[in-house]
Structure formats: structure tokens, C-alpha cells
Amino acid sequence: MRRKLVAGNWKMHGGLARNRELLDSLVQAIGKGGSADCAVCVPFPYLAQTQELLKGTAIAWGAQTLSEHGQGAYTGEVSAAMLTDFGCRYVLVGHSERRSLYGESNEAVAAKLLAAVQGGLTPVLCLGETLEQREGGITEKIIAAQLDAVTAAGMNGLAKAVIAYEPVWAIGTGRTATPQQAQDVHAFIRTRLAGSDAALAQRMQILYGGSVKPQNAAELFGMTDIDGGLIGGASLVAQDFLAICTAAAG
């Protein structure tokens, strides 16, 4: 039985006062832990605040991207070691917004995943197709290419990763994949992974992301191959995020 994980992706939202309120509410409700794991991925400048407020609780934290380089002349970039300095456990890699807005290729995402693992972080590898790709019938081809770029770099990285399937057409749109649509792609990902490492495929946590809300979380998390969620908009509202964590705890 795989443990469920619910990770919040705050994206470029937040502010010191608002973060404190949100994190305090989370700590009060789930700070002692439960039967599902819970984490928040916050903007870089708020890592220190997040560490201060979540330290010693059962809620983990992380960042939303990282550099593939260890250090050097890379203005504006943040390394894995810098993230672990602030107690991060997780880091998102290859979120569709990074891929589409900042031109991150499958190969760049694979390099970031390795940098994260080498730095002691757990990368959350995001995969997903656009609406055009889904309607063109090439969802599996796109997901396979995204996944294969990472497996080509070696299974050591993936062995320490979590995967998040996030159909681009469901992110921030209010349009969720049906539980069956999500399950089909999750099963595809697990089967493809099994081709390289059957044991890893069995234990891999595969999260679903894309307009997850308290209303649809339980049904999504009830599917065989869905091991939790990556939550955008709803992770900014304490009550909603907590309800989703409760749904994951079953």
C-alpha cells in the first residue's frame, strides 16, 4: 500500500502576513501528522518563514524549481544545496508552467531532477499533455517522451522521486480530468516505469494535479493508481487544502 501525499503548489502567490495565517492554520489542524503526508511548495523568498513555522511539525515544505547546476555564475538561479539549507524536502521539477513559459525541455527537466536527488531533495516530476495534444490522440506519446527523458538519465534519480500527472488543460481552469481519465494516464505511467524497474513502478507515488478541490479530491484519490495530489489554487485556502488532505487520509 503506497502512502498518499498532498503537496500544495503556491505558485507566485503569498505575502508574509498571509503565509503566516495559512501555515498557522495548517499546523493547528495537521501539524501532528496523519495517515497522509502533506507538504507545501512555496516561493523562494518565503522558505525561511516556512521553515520557521513548520519546523518540528509533520508538514514538509519545498520549492517550485531549482537550478541543474551546483553553483556558479547563474544569475537568478537557486541550487539544491540552497534549498536544503532551508530545510526543504521537496522541489517541483518540470511543472508545465516552467516548460511552457520558461522553455524547459525534457532534457533540462531530467538534469534538474538529478541535481535535486544529488542534493538530497525529493523531486516531484511533473508530466502532462496540452489540450491540443489530448485531442490529437497523442497523450501517451507526450507523457512517454517526458518520462523517457528522465529514465534515459538513469533510474537512480527516479528512484528517489515522486511523479505528478498534471494535464495542462486542467491546471487552473476549473476543468478537472475525470477520475477515469486520470487513472488511465497514471496506469500508463506506472506500466511504462515497470518496463525499466518493476519494483520501483509499484512503490512510486504518482500524484494527480489540475483543479483538485475538496469536492472532487476523494473520488480522484480513490482510484487505484492515484497516490495523492499536487494542489495549486486550493492550496492557498486553508480550509480547502485541509479538506483535500483529509480526503487523502481516506
In the complex, which residues of this chain contact ligand PGA (CB under 6 A)?
9, 166, 171-172, 209-212, 230-234
Comparison of 172 and 195: residue with beta carbon closer to ligand PGA: 172
All cell numbers assigned to 205: 507515488
- CA-nearest of 47, 113, 127, 43 to 85 is 47
95 classed as catalytic: yes
Question: Residue 7 in contact with residue 229, Cβ under 8 Å?
Answer: yes
Provide, rounded to whole angstroms, the least separation between the CB of residue 224 and ligand PGA: 22
Angle of helix 139-151 relative to helix 179-194, nearest 10 degrees, comes to 40
166 classed as catalytic: yes
The three-state (H, E, C) secondary structure of 105-124, written as one string? CHHHHHHHHHHHHHCCCEEE
Comparison of 46 and 169: residue with beta carbon closer to ligand PGA: 169
Question: Residue 69 in contact with residue 119, Cβ under 8 Å?
Answer: no
Comparison of 94 and 209: residue with beta carbon closer to ligand PGA: 209
Contacts of 82 (CB under 8 A, 6+ apart): none
Comparison of 194 and 243: residue with beta carbon closer to ligand PGA: 243
> Helix, strand or coil for residue 19?
helix
Provide, rounded to whole angstroms, the least separation between the CB of residue 93 and ligand PGA: 12
Residue of closest CB approach to ligand PGA: 232
Provide, rounded to whole angstroms, the least separation between the CB of residue 65 and ligand PGA: 12
Provide, rounded to whole angstroms, the least separation between the CB of residue 124 and ligand PGA: 9
| Active-site residue identified among 68, 97, 166, 186 | 166
Provide, rounded to whole angstroms, the least separation between the CB of residue 213 and ligand PGA: 8
Comparison of 194 and 237: residue with beta carbon closer to ligand PGA: 237
Please give the full DSSP string across 50-117, using - where no structure is assigned.
HHHHHTTSSEEEEES---SSSSSS-TT---HHHHHHTT--EEEES-HHHHHHS---HHHHHHHHHHHH
| Active-site residue identified among 68, 95, 104, 186 | 95
Q: Which residues have a catalytic role annotated? A: 95, 166
